A and B are shown apart, each in its own frame.
Chain A
Amino acid sequence: MKILVPIKRVVDYNVNVRVKADGSGVDLANVKMSMNPFDEIAVEEAVRLKEAGIATEVVVVSAGVGAAQETLRTAMAIGADRGILVETDADLQPLAVAKLLKAIVDKEAPKLVIAGKQAIDDDANQTGQVLAALLGWAQATFISKLVPGTDEITVTREIDGGLEKLAVKLPAVVTVDLRLNEPRYATLPNIMKAKKKPLETMKPADLGVDAAPRLTTLRVVEPPKRSAGIIVADVGQLVDKLKNVAKVI
């Protein structure tokens, strides 16, 4: 089966983002950008399914700025076969991304879409579910295990109370959680090879999709800062503070 993996270029998870003084957003100038960590897990899973002889082709798709080509190359260095960039400088919100992905799915006809459960920039946790809705496909979010099958897959989902096991009819959209796998590091030869893999670029208009935002950001501010408290000398002082100052125990 063909697998499609949507990926997003985001601020690297190690970066401490700063809010811009004018309140218009966060400062992304000269900040390290990387593939969204959940998407790396999604790519890794798809590539493992290919290595196991289950996936026939792994196609990675990104929507966003031209620099997302690098992110697609990274995914191809992990082992994806080819990339598609839907290029736009516009603000893309989850609904718009899901519509773009739906248009790509209509063209590519994959049997399985493996997405990250959330992007660590907007933390929205929506795109996979919205895509599944638009396609009318089954969905399984936050998965930590995937067992492939012909007409259905079996997945384990991480839920608030523990774990849930589902049989999911194909075609389906799944979104991955942290414990599904540990993504490999791309090796230098694979990075070189990835440069030669096909990468197609198109615009939202080529797909006939209206990607206009529905939400307007009025302002972005820093949350109230927590200041560091005190270092206590020993357990006795800690208990005293908790009992008599904070009065919480």
Chain B
Amino acid sequence: MAILVIAEHDNAALKAATLNAVTAAGKLGGDVHMLVAGASVGAVSQAAAKVAGVAKVLVADAPQYEAQTPENLAVLVKGLASGYSHIVAPATTAGKNLTPRVAGLLDVAQVSDVVAVEAPDTFVRPIYAGNALATVKNADAIKVLTVRTTAFDAAGEGGSAVIEPVAAGADLGLVRLIGREVTKSARPELGAAKVIVSGGRGLGSGENFSKVLEPLADKLGAAIGASRAAVDAGFVPNDYQVGQTGKIVAPQIYFAIGLSGAIQHLAGMKDSKVIVAINKDADAPIFQVADYGLVADLFTAVPELVAALG
């Protein structure tokens, strides 16, 4: 049987996380189909058809899918589900919002945040903020999964899937989108960045985030991340939060600056290739996971680092 990947998009472009989900789906043994549900999603469907490994793209194009609200989408996915062994979405805020609702409608269990596929019915997932890895076997006929994007490479281009329209479902009219405040930034997306510069409470203010961390991020072409404490204090927007309950990242290099390294933070970044910590407290737990630690005041060390990078 085939596997259905739910495409994440903004009606204009496919989101990168979908490509990681396609790779995970490819490990489940079956043709990979992708569902693009949205409004005026011609361009997204074209892009989806070009993703390597995708055999068919199902397109539900209707105004009631424009806002991507899960009530309408879940009913649509439920209607398509009987032809599939697995339904897969990336474990992004959109995926986490939608797929449990699909699983609920289908009366099946969801396996969240899959980091490895051992068999088509057996998956590895982190629990307890990543302090343990559980291998679980799912006995349900249709397996609903969200997959951790950092655990699977992004699928490339080169596909030539057939595009097939599917009938849209009803508009349940349960929710109405009032608006979105999307953080605008010229920097790479946190989830896809090769270099991340993260700051914590030690930065002291949003102004210091811009004055001290941004020059470093500019030098390195990095994304900026933050600890929960920095977000709670209002230094940076919520979508900067890295951790158990924020974003999961695994860049080539992660700079942890003025953050202590609480387990909830480590859960989101400990799979980074190289971790650099700058903290004035030599006993900060972040040094226990850092490849390179510098015990120093960040307000002198970071500008020095920027200068040294030339």
Q: Which residues on A are within 8 Å of B, measured CB to CB?
A: 11, 13, 16-17, 19, 26, 38, 93-95, 98, 117-118, 120-134, 137-142, 144, 154, 157-169, 172, 177-179, 213-223, 226, 228-232, 234-236, 238-239, 241-242, 246, 248-249
Q: Which of B104, B178, B182 contacts A133 (CB 8 A)?
A: B104
Given contacts A19-B132, A123-B126, A129-B101, contact A161 B113 (CB under 8 A): no
- Could you tell me the distance in whole angstroms from the C-beta of A213 to the nearest C-beta in chain B? 8
- Could you tell me the distance in whole angstroms from the C-beta of B310 to the nearest C-beta in chain A? 9
Given contacts A137-B174, A166-B178, contact A216 B139 (CB under 8 A): yes
Name the residue of chain A whose CB is nearest to the CB of B231: A179
Q: Provide the B265-290 mask, 1 if CB < 8 A to any CB of A, else 0.
A: 00000100111100000100001111
A229 to B296, CA, bound (A): 16
A132 to B182, CA, bound (A): 26
Taking CB atoms, residues of chain B closer than 8 Å to A158 are 93, 238-239
A223 to B115, CA, bound (A): 11
- Could you tell me the distance in whole angstroms from the C-beta of A100 to the nearest C-beta in chain B? 13
Q: Which of A139, A169, A179, A234 contacts B101 (CB 8 A)?
A: A139
Given contacts A11-B128, A142-B93, A166-B69, contact A178 B232 (CB under 8 A): yes
Taking CB atoms, residues of chain B closer than 8 Å to A120 are 128-129, 244-245
- Contact: B101 with A132, CB < 8 Å? yes
- Could you tell me the distance in whole angstroms from the C-beta of A65 to the nearest C-beta in chain B? 18
- Contact: A221 with B301, CB < 8 Å? no
Given contacts A17-B132, A117-B245, A249-B220, contact A133 B101 (CB under 8 A): yes
Taking CB atoms, residues of chain A closer than 8 Å to B103 are 95, 126, 130, 133
A228 to B295, CA, bound (A): 14
Q: Which residues on B are within 8 Å of A, measured CB to CB?
A: 69-71, 74, 92-94, 96-98, 100-105, 107-113, 122, 126-140, 173-183, 191, 195, 220, 228, 231-232, 237-239, 244-245, 247, 252-253, 263-264, 270, 273-276, 282, 287-296, 301, 304-305, 308-309
Taking CB atoms, residues of chain B closer than 8 Å to A138 are 71, 174-175
Q: Is the interface of A mostly helix, strand, loop or mixed?
A: mixed
Taking CB atoms, residues of chain A closer than 8 Å to B126 are 123, 223
State the 4 A-B residue pairs at the shortest beta-carbon distance, nearest first: A133-B104, A129-B100, A229-B291, A138-B174
- Could you tell me the distance in whole angstroms from the C-beta of A230 to the nearest C-beta in chain B? 6
Name the residue of chain A whose CB is nearest to the CB of B136: A215
Given contacts A120-B128, A133-B104, A229-B291, contact A141 B96 (CB under 8 A): yes
11 residue pairs of the A-B complex, CB under 8 angstroms, read A16-B131, A129-B100, A165-B178, A168-B175, A214-B139, A215-B139, A217-B136, A222-B133, A238-B276, A238-B292, A249-B309
Taking CB atoms, residues of chain B closer than 8 Å to A139 are 70-71, 97, 101, 175
Taking CB atoms, residues of chain A closer than 8 Å to B135 are 217-221
- Contact: B109 with A168, CB < 8 Å? no
A165-B180, A234-B296 known; 11 new pairs, CB 8 Å cut-off, are A123-B126, A130-B101, A139-B71, A162-B239, A165-B177, A168-B175, A178-B228, A228-B288, A229-B275, A239-B309, A248-B273
- Contact: A94 with B100, CB < 8 Å? yes
Taking CB atoms, residues of chain A closer than 8 Å to B231 are 179
- Contact: B101 with A166, CB < 8 Å? no
- Contact: B253 with A161, CB < 8 Å? no
Taking CB atoms, residues of chain B closer than 8 Å to A177 are 238, 245
- Contact: B94 with A232, CB < 8 Å? no
Q: Is the interface of B mostly helix, strand, loop or mixed?
A: mixed
- Could you tell me the distance in whole angstroms from the C-beta of A154 to the nearest C-beta in chain B? 7
- Could you tell me the distance in whole angstroms from the C-beta of A233 to the nearest C-beta in chain B? 8
- Could you tell me the distance in whole angstroms from the C-beta of A59 to the nearest C-beta in chain B? 22
- Could you tell me the distance in whole angstroms from the C-beta of A32 to the nearest C-beta in chain B? 14
Which of B183, B228, B232, B238 has the most chain A CB within a 10 Å cutoff? B238
- Could you tell me the distance in whole angstroms from the C-beta of B25 to the nearest C-beta in chain A? 19
- Contact: B294 with A234, CB < 8 Å? yes
A126 to B232, CA, bound (A): 24
- Could you tell me the distance in whole angstroms from the C-beta of A235 to the nearest C-beta in chain B? 4
- Could you tell me the distance in whole angstroms from the C-beta of A109 to the nearest C-beta in chain B? 18
A214 to B143, CA, bound (A): 11
Given contacts A214-B138, A238-B305, contact A144 B130 (CB under 8 A): no
Given contacts A221-B132, A228-B287, contact A215 B182 (CB under 8 A): no
Taking CB atoms, residues of chain A closer than 8 Å to B104 are 95, 98, 129-134
Which of B136, B182, B282 has the most chain A CB within a 10 Å cutoff? B136
A4 to B132, CA, bound (A): 32
- Contact: A133 with B100, CB < 8 Å? yes
- Contact: A231 with B287, CB < 8 Å? yes
A160 to B288, CA, bound (A): 29
- Contact: B70 with A17, CB < 8 Å? no
A221 to B238, CA, bound (A): 32
Taking CB atoms, residues of chain A closer than 8 Å to B290 are 228-229
Name the residue of chain B whose CB is nearest to the CB of A141: B97
- Contact: A162 with B294, CB < 8 Å? no
Taking CB atoms, residues of chain A closer than 8 Å to B173 are 169
A223 to B134, CA, bound (A): 10
